[in-house]
Amino acid sequence: MKSKNVITIAVFAAIAILTSCGGSKKGGLPNFSDDEFAVSTISTSSAALQTTYPATIKGIQDVEVRPKVSGFITKVFVHEGQTVSAGQPLFSIDSETYQAAVRQCQAAVNTAKAQANTAKLTYKNNKNLFDSHIIGEYELSTAANTLATAEAQVAQAEAALASAREQLAWCVVKSPSAGVVGSLPFKEGALVSASGQALTTVSNISTMEVFFSVSESELLNMGKNNGNMQAAIAAFPPVKLQLADGSFYEQPGKVVKMSGVIDASTGAVSLIAHFANPDKLLKSGGSGSIVISNDNSNAIVVPQEACSQVQDKIFVYAVGKDNKVKYTEIKVNPQDDGKNYIVTSGLRTGDRIVVKGITKLTDGQQIKPITLERYNQKIAEAAKLAESQDNAHEFAKAMSGKK
């Protein structure tokens, strides 16, 4: 009986000791002194960021096909997605009216030529009579004018015939360029006109133009860094195209030109990149994103957990030579990887900043710097201590439950 009482007393004594020690929770923080903070010295490192811009995809030549004459479609020679060559027939339009116009104009030409031949004979006869002093100069001039009028009427009739033949030729709608046929909204029997909707679009997709926009400030920076915009475009790094399904197009792109006007409503300017399209994977009218890699071998990179953000400003605690911290504003690149910032101003190589526990700091506070390695070591020691204390608690509970 006494031995059981001794065990019980020992168990409760252990529990009391643990309670008095604080019973650190599993995963708790190390028992740092109040002025110990992890501090890192700023150095340069390589940083790779990607800037993404929404983009639209078009063929290097997208041509809307419209009829030049009105009428009913009698035949569709192609189908959607078909590759066609320049001059290949696409549609035919009812040509009966235009054939009749050609016949009418041909008859007018024949009539005008007959009249011109008669006027020519009259002029020759009058010329002979004039030379024989039978008629005067007035009669000869009148015959000459009649001949000139008849010849002009022949020319006019022939022009009308050429126009009628051209309109007849327009009844066969041909492809204006080589490319791929787009959608075909009109079928056989549909009434179409030159002022109506396009019959289709023929896109040259051997090379694709991808349009994306950059801000005016980015445009100005590019111009300043390279001297002028032509040099900036020439020095533009290769770009990647992310497709609508999230995958990346295997062919790299090259920025080749830009629009000459800034959009007043958005403050952006459009750039155009060319992508080779040998497998015809890209389609005109598609969408995606242009991805531009920005590599910096001398970047100042700081962890985001070492920074505090107040509205649109970012601050760090810089550590002075006297180990006092100073609340310091920094400027960072707007693009980041979600874990680190690339500092553009506010810090220099060799500066020291607090990288852990900044929420406990106040401006001007004196601290005791420790290395990040020492901080992590203390974390590991604290975890081990918490685990051993948890084991002691479990043991104490088990022992207190025994009778």
Determine if residue 280 is left, alpha or beta; phi over 0 gives left, psi from -120 to 50 gives alpha, anything else beta. left
240: three-class secondary structure by DSSP: strand
**Quick one: which of 36, 26, 28 has its CA closest to 357?**
36
Average pLDDT taken over every residue of the chain: 86
Q: Domain 52-60+203-294: give its CATH code.
A: 2.40.30.170
CB atoms under 10 Å from CB of 192, counted, come to 21
The pLDDT, as a whole number, for residue 7 is 38
What Cα–Cα distance (Å) separates residue 354 from each residue in 39, 243, 331, 343, 372? 4, 41, 17, 15, 10
The pLDDT, as a whole number, for residue 226 is 74
Which of 29-38 are b and which e, b meaning 16 or more Cβ less than 10 Å from the residue's Cβ?
ebebeeebbb
The pLDDT, as a whole number, for residue 307 is 96
Query: pLDDT tier at 233 (50, 70, 90 boundaries)?
Result: confident
Show me where the domains of the chain are located: 2-29+379-400, 36-48+297-370, 52-60+203-294, 67-92+175-197, 95-170
φ, ψ of residue 69 to 5 degrees: the values are: -130, 160
What Cα–Cα distance (Å) separates residue 34 from each residue in 101, 360, 372, 379? 102, 9, 16, 15
Give the pLDDT mean for 55-80. Answer: 93
Q: Is the pLDDT of residue 24 over 60?
A: no
The pLDDT, as a whole number, for residue 395 is 61
The pLDDT, as a whole number, for residue 6 is 37
Q: Is the pLDDT of residue 50 over 60?
A: yes
More confident residue, 155 or 33: 155
Domain 95-170 in this protein, CATH class:
mainly alpha
Q: Is the pLDDT of residue 3 over 80?
A: no
The pLDDT, as a whole number, for residue 250 is 93
Span 70-114, pLDDT tens digits: 999 999 999 998 999 999 999 999 999 999 999 999 999 999 999
Query: pLDDT tier at 299 (50, 70, 90 boundaries)?
Result: confident
More confident residue, 226 or 252: 252
Q: How are strands ordered across the β-sheet holding 71-76?
A: 172-174, 89-93, 71-76, 191-192
Q: Is the pLDDT of residue 11 over 80?
A: no
The pLDDT, as a whole number, for residue 25 is 42
Q: Is the pLDDT of residue 378 over 60?
A: yes
The pLDDT, as a whole number, for residue 403 is 47
326: three-class secondary structure by DSSP: strand
The pLDDT, as a whole number, for residue 401 is 57
Domain 36-48+297-370 in this protein, CATH class:
mainly beta
Span 322-377, pLDDT tens digits: 999 999 999 998 777 788 898 989 999 999 999 998 999 999 999 999 998 988 88
The pLDDT, as a whole number, for residue 396 is 66
- The helix (H) or strand (E) run that includes residue 309 is strand 308-310
Q: Is the pLDDT of residue 122 over 80?
A: yes
The pLDDT, as a whole number, for residue 17 is 39
Query: pLDDT tier at 399 (50, 70, 90 boundaries)?
Result: low
Yes or no: say if 200 and 183 are a contact pair by the CB < 8 Å rule. Answer: yes
> CB within 8 A of 299, min separation 6: which ones?
44, 45, 46, 47, 342, 343
Query: pLDDT tier at 13 (50, 70, 90 boundaries)?
Result: very low
The pLDDT, as a whole number, for residue 186 is 95
- Mean pLDDT check: name the lowest of 35-44, 61-70, 212-221: 212-221
The pLDDT, as a whole number, for residue 375 is 87
Fold agreement (36-48+297-370, 52-60+203-294): no
The pLDDT, as a whole number, for residue 254 is 94
